[in-house]
Structures are given as C-alpha cells and as structure tokens.
Structure 1
Amino acid sequence: MARETYEKDGPLLVVASGRDTISIASSIKRLASDNVFVVQIQHPRVHLNRFDLVITPRHDYYPLTPEGQEKIPQFLRRWITPCEPPDGHVVLTTGALHQIDSAALRSAASAWHEEFAPLPKPLVVVNVGGPTGCCRYGSDLAKQLTAHLLNVLVSCGSIRISFSMRTPEKVSKIIIKELGNNPKVHIWDGEEPNPHLGHLAWADAFVVTADSISLISEACSTGKPVYVVGAERCTWKFTDFHKSLRERGVVRPFTGSEDMSDSWSYPPLNDTAEAASRVHEALAERGWKLRP
C-alpha cells in the first residue's frame, strides 16, 4: 500500500506501540523503506536500526548500566535490552507517553466543574495501582498508605481515592474499611463515568502507588505536588525511574508527616509533545512533513 500510494499521496507515517507490533512495524520498514517513516513506541527489544525512530522511556536503558546488568542473568542480557546505547534516532522520555496536556486539563476542568468545584480544599487525589514483578506489595502497603492518609487528614479538605483494574481485593478492602466512612473521603466505586481526568484537573496534590509509571507520569504532567508511596519496594528499572523523578524535584516520598496544604511545583513533564516535536524534526530532515 505504501508503494502504490506514494506517488499520489506521498509517504506513510507508521506509528506502532507495544510488543505485538514490533515484527509488523520492522517488516514494513524493511519492505518499503523509501516510502514509509516508522516510529516505534517503547523499547522494541530488537536492534534499533529496524526503525526510523524509537521513542522509549529513559529507564528502559537502565539494564545497560552496571547496576542494571548485575541484576540480569548473563544469558538474558542481550535479549532483555540489546547492547546499543541510544543514538540520534532514539528519543528518551522521562516517563510514559499519554494524552494529558494543558488543553486536556482545561477541558476536563470544565467537564467536571459541577462535581469538583464545591469540594473543600485542598483536594488530594489518591491513585492505587497493583503489585508488579518489579514492585511487590500487598496488605502491608495498604496499611501503610491508610495510616499515612489518616495522619495527613487534618490538613486535607477532601480526599478522592481510585483503584485500578490491577488493585488486589485485599488491598482495596483494607483502604475501604479504614477510610470508607470518613466524611472527608470519597472512594470511587468503579462505575462510569471514570473521574480520572477530573481528578487530574481539579486535584491540589496527588498520592500515587509506585507501581504505576503511567499514573505517575500523568500526575507529573500537571505541575502539582506528587507524592509516591511504596517506591522502596520497587526494584530494577522502576528504581531508576523513581530516582530520576526525585532528582528532578517532580515527586517526593509520601511519609504521612506532610502538610497537604503546602504547595510546591515544578516544570510539568511534557514527554508526549516533546516526542512529537522530534518526529516532526526527523521527518523534516528527510524532506517530508505531516499534512495539517
């Protein structure tokens, strides 16, 4: 299709994301290299020269560091991350790509105004994910989180808590039992509409479990305080991700001693827009441009 439409419609921009698309995207690049520009989102775990541009989180290169290599069996090292340092056609992002930007936040603020505007301030949004192979926890973290939230409750106007599809029942039950009847606390019941965008737009601060890079990345795109709970339970590249955010002043550990009315800020993460800009630049270098 790329070859047949090239003369009439010009080259195709192919954007692929995730493990299942790798072989297809690299095959398109091989079969029609003069007619396509192939962008692969996330580290493909194959040789990077099979794509025109690779956009991947910086922590995906943690396995190349001495600390990362020590944690990988020798026979798996090349398979997990090819020993190629990032070069000019690799775009490294701080966190995960997502659709949250200032325009999306303004739209969500308007859409959720009626529900969130009357809430007492500061509004603290708590996002609870679920354990992963690199962030292992259970009821122990749930108890730690609820104890910390009870400690900071006096400085909160209201708290909104959301669970993800990955949240174990034993975790959600503890949080609901300890906080579900508190008048300052509202726990989303999982029914539509999902208030996630409203939370991002209206929250004054966030508390997020360390397992979810996507939830943390979205919260950090707001420029508002983001507190992470459970980072000490994470290993390998998750450790590198959390360390990079702390060093940039984007997140802080949630200790339960915070005054949630204290406000602090930072330049919001803008990975998606920056990655898109790099795509435009790479196309321009080839003499191509996206149609408006």
Structure 2
Amino acid sequence: MSEAGAVWVLADPRAGTAAQALGIADRLGVPVREVPLAWGGLARLPWPWPTLAGLTPEARARIAPPPGSAWPRLVISAGRRSAPVARWLGRRGARLVHCMRPGLGAGAFDLLVIGRHDLPPGRLPGDPGLAPNLLPILGACHRMAPTRLAAARAEWAALAGLPSPRIGLLVGGPVRAEGMAPAVAAALGAAVAGFAGSVLATASRRTGAAATEALAAALAGRPHRLHRWGEGGPNPYAGFLAWADALVVTGDSVSMLSEALATQASVFIADPGGLGPRHRRLQESLVAAGQARMLAAAPAPFVRAPLDEAGRVAAAIRGRGWV
C-alpha cells in the first residue's frame, strides 16, 4: 500500500483530459493527491525539456509537497501540456505514467498509455518498432468505473419506468468548430427515436444550443429525457449509461465513446460527418475489436464485454510495484 501523497495526479483544466489520469488513479486503491493545473501563455510552446514554465504562478506553487510530505513516488498525467510538468517531477525521483501523446520527451516516461487510434498509421500493438514503454488501449481511460455505474443505476432508478428498449443517445459536436449542424442533430434524433421505446439523450458543450433545440424537436412526442449542456440540477449522464439497453454515440467524442464501452449495452457509432483521420481510426479500432458497430447496424443487439481500460492500466502499475 502506498503512503498518503505518494501518488500525484496532474489534473488538466479540461475535464476530459483530466478524467483520463484520474480514472487510472481511482482504480489504484491508494491515497492520491490531485494537483489542479492552470495554463499560462507559455503552455502552447513545445517544451523540449522538463519545466514548469507553462503553468500560471498559482499553479506552479502547487507543484510542491505539502508540509511534512515528500516528493511523489508516482505521477499520473494526461495531455501534451502536462508532459513537461510531469518530467520535471520525474527528475525528483517519481515514476511517470502519461495518457495521450506527450509530444517531446516520450522516452522519459515509464509508461505511456496511448489509444490505438493514436498509434502511427499502420502500426499495431505488439509491433517491435513501437516504444517499449507504450501501453496501447482501446479508446481512452475515464472515471466511469463499474462501482460508479452501479451507484448511478441506484440513484437514477426512476429511469426504469421509461419504455424499453431505452436507447442512450450521447451527442458531441465538431472538435474545433462552433456547434453541430442543427440538421445533423435533428436527423440523428429522428433516426434513434424510430427504433427506441424511449430515448435518454444528452448534449455536450460542443453540441451547441441550436443543435440541442433541433434534437429536442426531433424527440418531441416520443418518450424521452433530454439533458441540455449547462442546465441546472443533477446531471443524469451516468444514469443514462447505467440504464440504457443500447447506446448511440457520435463518433466525434473519444470520451463519450470510451465511457459507453464501460457498460454492458450494445454500442453504435453515429458518424456526424466531417471527422478527421484520428476519429476514423478510433471508429475502426472499436469495430475491429467487436466493441462497437456503426449506426446502420442498429437496433440489432449484440453481445460485448464491458471494457475497463483504466482498470487494466492500474493493474499494470501495481504489477510493476510502483504503488
């Protein structure tokens, strides 16, 4: 068992990025110190050496042991901007586990957790040309652990009253644009409503208000729950995952696809158009692994085992004796 404070998680301000590191830490079963990061203007630079220069002064002050504590034995980070910070801590004796491609200095990490869709084109896990510190995974790590899904199923038990099949619809949006096209959202909502007994739909930050309202109009008159991004009250997202008989996820969201795969439900990928090579490779990797099918195959259910990549990474860390 690791002593308190021996494991630090560098938490990027972007929730989806931070969740990758935190999801692994959640599964270690040891005390963890979460260190919130905040970026200054220098964070955009591709730092070739370990440094804290990309942090704001306030965040830089947090990169120090609390009084009476030592430097960490293990640091878990995610995202390119946090990589120089993790490497700075590595010079103080920490083992380093990093999610996503770190940019420069990849060889400084003890373990790199990289989605198969982010591997060099044509390379597969196990290829001798890949770095020995690489642990390829399907999708991305996250915090939707089996215990969290079980708790959400109890918390949102009222969703059981909706007609079956309950289809969870997880809607993202363009990665680097302003909102999904309303016509795309409307067409997706109508397609899912056509084979659902009820729809459990959620929009994201990238969906945009116009597309969310178009989705709402497409679901009107059908049994459904729609969660709008930023609305008040408890967020039913985990409950939707826990109670869905099948899940339809737009292929632009690595996080939502990965979280959907933590359930036992059949997972279908909706292509909203305009996807780049990285997201195409993600779709292909999930379909090839038998973890998902494209929306055209819906609503026919199929059997798949819940995917727990964060648990697998945590087991690899424990197996190496780092905690």
Q: Per the shorter chain, which TM-score range? A: 0.7 to 0.9
Match of 1:36 in 2: 94
CA distance in 1, matches of 2:254, 2:317: 23
The verdict on how the C-alpha distance between 1:191 and 1:9 changes in structure 2, with shifts beyond 3 A counting, is closer
Higher RCO (CA < 8 A, seq sep 6+): 1
| Aligned residue pairs, count | 254
CA distance in 2, matches of 1:160, 1:90: 37
Query: 5 Å matches for 1:248-267?
Result: 248-255=289-296, 258=298, 260=299, 262-267=300-305
Matched, 1:26 2:107: no
What is the Cα deviation at residue 170 of structure 1?
2.6
Q: Which of 198, 202, 216 is the aligned partner of 1:158?
A: 198
The verdict on how the C-alpha distance between 1:146 and 1:118 changes in structure 2, with shifts beyond 3 A counting, is closer
Q: Secondary structure at the match of 1:186?
A: strand
Does the 8 Å CA contact 2:162/2:223 hold for their aligned counterparts?
no
Match of 2:137 in 1: 93
Which amino acid is the alignment partner of residue 50 of structure 1? A
CA distance in 2, matches of 1:151, 1:202: 19
Write the deviation string for residues 65-85 of structure 1: whole angstroms up to 9, x where unpaired: 269xxxxxxxxxxxxxxxx95
What is the Cα deviation at residue 232 of structure 1?
5.4
What is the Cα deviation at residue 130 of structure 1?
1.1
CA distance in 2, matches of 1:66, 1:200: 33
Percent identity between the two aligned chains: 26
Match of 1:77 in 2: none
CA distance in 2, matches of 1:52, 1:150: 47
What is the Cα deviation at residue 196 of structure 1?
0.8
Write the deviation string for residues 174-212 of structure 1: whole angstroms up to 9, x where unpaired: 112222x31412222432200011111111111111110
Matched, 1:108 2:152: yes
Match of 1:182 in 2: 221
Give the TM-score normalised by structure 2: 0.70
CA distance in 2, matches of 1:12, 1:162: 39
Matched, 1:173 2:213: yes
Does the 8 Å CA contact 2:79/2:99 hold for their aligned counterparts?
yes
Does the 8 Å CA contact 1:43/1:56 hold for their aligned counterparts?
yes
- Greater alpha carbon shift after TM alignment, 183-192 vs 219-228: 183-192
Match of 1:53 in 2: 111
What is the Cα deviation at residue 133 of structure 1?
4.3
CA distance in 1, matches of 2:185, 2:121: 32
What is the Cα deviation at residue 92 of structure 1?
1.1
What is the Cα deviation at residue 122 of structure 1?
1.3
CA distance in 1, matches of 2:129, 2:262: 27
CA distance in 2, matches of 1:158, 1:117: 11
The verdict on how the C-alpha distance between 1:192 and 1:11 changes in structure 2, with shifts beyond 3 A counting, is closer
What is the Cα deviation at residue 219 of structure 1?
0.5
Tell me, which stretches of 5 or more residues in structure 2 are unaligned?
7-64
Q: Secondary structure at the match of 2:112?
A: strand
Q: Secondary structure at the match of 1:265?
A: coil
The verdict on how the C-alpha distance between 1:240 and 1:126 changes in structure 2, with shifts beyond 3 A counting, is same
Match of 2:121 in 1: 65
Q: Secondary structure at the match of 1:263?
A: coil
Does the 8 Å CA contact 2:186/2:217 hold for their aligned counterparts?
no
CA distance in 2, matches of 1:281, 1:88: 16
What is the Cα deviation at residue 129 of structure 1?
0.8
Match of 1:210 in 2: 251
Match of 2:313 in 1: 275
Larger Cα-atom Rg: 1
Give the TM-score normalised by structure 1: 0.77
> What is the Cα-based RMSD across aligned positions, in Å?
3.0
CA distance in 2, matches of 1:202, 1:213: 21
